[in-house]
């Protein structure tokens, strides 16, 4: 199957050795030449044949996409959880000049459609909850729900993007067989009690800029967000949404605690002080 975006970007399965090798180069361009968790071309090829999904986004689009430049990719593996097929989306990357144009959203939509064809009803993946751009994509645009918090999920990082603040991750679940939903807004979800209390957990506006400017403060943000999310999710809470009121106020993760759970009042700033002026994620 192939999806072509209005901007002239084609998305399709990767099939050939040169395409898998180009995917490895794109990983290095995204996470750095020394990225130790890079998936080699041989594994990408095998995974594509046995339960994996790997697709590339190419500049050019349509039938000519095979001759275009690979500007992004998505890769994941399918396994079983309690006897049910679940897809783990391991990597999603878009080259910097093409970010902010909907390529990442389109790759996830393509991946969803491909998995539904294969009979898979749930996709999971992880992202750094300090990355506001990723939170906006995963929670607001795609409608995934954060259910688990993993401390230092990937150990000591080998990518400069992850250096200095550990590899804590929020693991999200995306129900693929559900209709795509609008961004979650407190009180507007018909499946949620209108009186549901929402805990807002502020995050940095641009953690990479903050890390370069004040690495100690970036580490303090990590601890504050971890201390806020771990007990809420351990009680059965869910990260349902993302909001950005605009600078100088920081963006925030929107957490719905389970009924009866012990948690602070709605809107309390769980991460401490605001951190204005961090700029926008590219």
Please tell me the predicted confidence (pLDDT) of residue 32.
83
Please tell me the predicted confidence (pLDDT) of residue 180.
57
Total number of domains constituting the chain: 1
Range of the structural domain that residue 25 is part of: 2-188
- Nearest-angstrom CA–CA distance, 237 and 230: 10
Please tell me the predicted confidence (pLDDT) of residue 259.
74
Please tell me the predicted confidence (pLDDT) of residue 36.
78
Please tell me the predicted confidence (pLDDT) of residue 276.
28
Please tell me the predicted confidence (pLDDT) of residue 102.
85
- Provide the CB-side half-sphere exposure for 176 (13 A, CA): 22
Q: Is residue 214 situated within a structural domain?
A: no
pTM check: above 0.85? no
Q: Is residue 252 situated within a structural domain?
A: no
Q: Is residue 217 situated within a structural domain?
A: no
Please tell me the predicted confidence (pLDDT) of residue 193.
55
Blockwise average pLDDT, block size 10, the chain, 282 residues: 61 93 93 84 94 90 61 95 95 89 88 92 96 93 94 73 80 84 60 71 95 94 97 95 91 89 50 30 25
Q: Is residue 268 situated within a structural domain?
A: no
- Nearest-angstrom CA–CA distance, 187 and 195: 7
CATH of the domain at 16: 3.40.630.30
Q: Is residue 200 situated within a structural domain?
A: no
Please tell me the predicted confidence (pLDDT) of residue 277.
29
Residues β-bridged to residue 242: 253
């Amino acid at each position: 199957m192939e999806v072509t975006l209005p901007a002239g970007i084609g998305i399709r399965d990767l099939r050939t050795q040169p395409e898998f090798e180009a995917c490895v180069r794109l990983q290095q361009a995204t996470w750095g030449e020394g990225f130790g968790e890079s998936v080699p071309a041989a594994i990408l090829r095998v995974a594509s044949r046995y339960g994996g999904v790997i697709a590339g986004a190419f500049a050019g689009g349509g039938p000519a996409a095979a001759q275009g430049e690979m500007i992004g990719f998505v890769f994941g593996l399918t396994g079983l959880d309690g006897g049910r097929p679940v897809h783990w989306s391991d990597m999603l990357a878009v080259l910097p000049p093409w970010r902010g144009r909907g390529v990442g959203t389109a790759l996830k939509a393509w991946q969803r459609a491909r998995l539904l064809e294969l009979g898979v009803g749930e996709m999971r993946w992880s992202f750094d909850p300090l990355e506001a751009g990723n939170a906006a994509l995963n929670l607001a645009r795609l409608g995934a729900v954060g259910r688990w918090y993993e401390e230092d999920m990937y150990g000591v990082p080998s990518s400069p993007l992850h250096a200095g603040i550990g590899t804590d991750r929020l693991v999200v679940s995306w129900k693929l067989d559900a209709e795509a939903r609008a961004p979650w807004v407190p009180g507007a979800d018909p499946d949620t009690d209108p009186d549901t209390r929402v805990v807002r957990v502020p995050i940095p506006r641009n953690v990479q800029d903050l890390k370069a400017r004040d690495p100690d403060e970036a580490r303090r943000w990590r601890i504050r967000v971890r201390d806020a999310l771990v007990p809420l999710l351990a009680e059965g809470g869910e990260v349902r949404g993302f909001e950005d009121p605009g600078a100088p106020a920081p963006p925030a993760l929107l957490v719905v605690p389970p009924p009866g759970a012990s948690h602070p009042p709605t809107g309390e700033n769980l991460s401490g002080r605001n951190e204005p002026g961090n700029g926008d994620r590219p």
